[in-house]
Structure 1
Amino acid sequence: MLSRSRHKRHQTPSAAFSRPFANASAVRLPRGLGFEGDRVRLRRAGEAVLVEPTFTSVSEWFVALDRFASAPFVPEGRRQPSMPERTTGC
């Protein structure tokens, strides 16, 4: 299974199929599932292999994170219990 991470550039298909090249472990990503740049990060998650974009600089990484700045981190707000009162055992 090929999966894109949360760094989508535009609306893309959520799944597609491809075939490995000859006897190699290389797989060509179908159109619409590609990434900008010339490197990707691969990691195994159970039976799946995740393909994620890599960033060549910290500033690129922050620019990618800024895409999510308009969405609240916790949409419904924090529902955290109040802190208990502390008593000193003098």
Structure 2
Amino acid sequence: MGKFEIAPARAKLFTHRGGQAVQLPEGFAFEGAEVALRRQGNAVILEPLPVKPPRTRAELEAMFARIDAEGGADFPDRDQPPMQERDFDW
């Protein structure tokens, strides 16, 4: 490893119910209870699962409450051109 390279983070492995589990270090946690899993060469890639759309009004309201609690949606400002004047001779 070169002088300025940062060592990769390490995780503990343990056996649980016949499978192998990974204890992720702080800063690598995922939200939710499951992740997508795939192999790429010798690497095993963990990725967050896509967020399922809310199915009920209560789930929708909970989603908006979470967004509001986090400071709201962060949409960039748009430079919207003015509406065009149209002359319809009907």
Is this a same-fold pair by TM over 0.5?
A: no
Please, what TM-score do these two structures have when normalized by structure 2? 0.40
Q: Which has the higher contact order (CA 8 A, sep 6+)?
A: 1
User: Of Structure 1 and Structure 2, which has the larger fraction of its residues in strand?
Assistant: 2
User: Of Structure 1 and Structure 2, which has the larger fraction of its residues in helix?
Assistant: 2
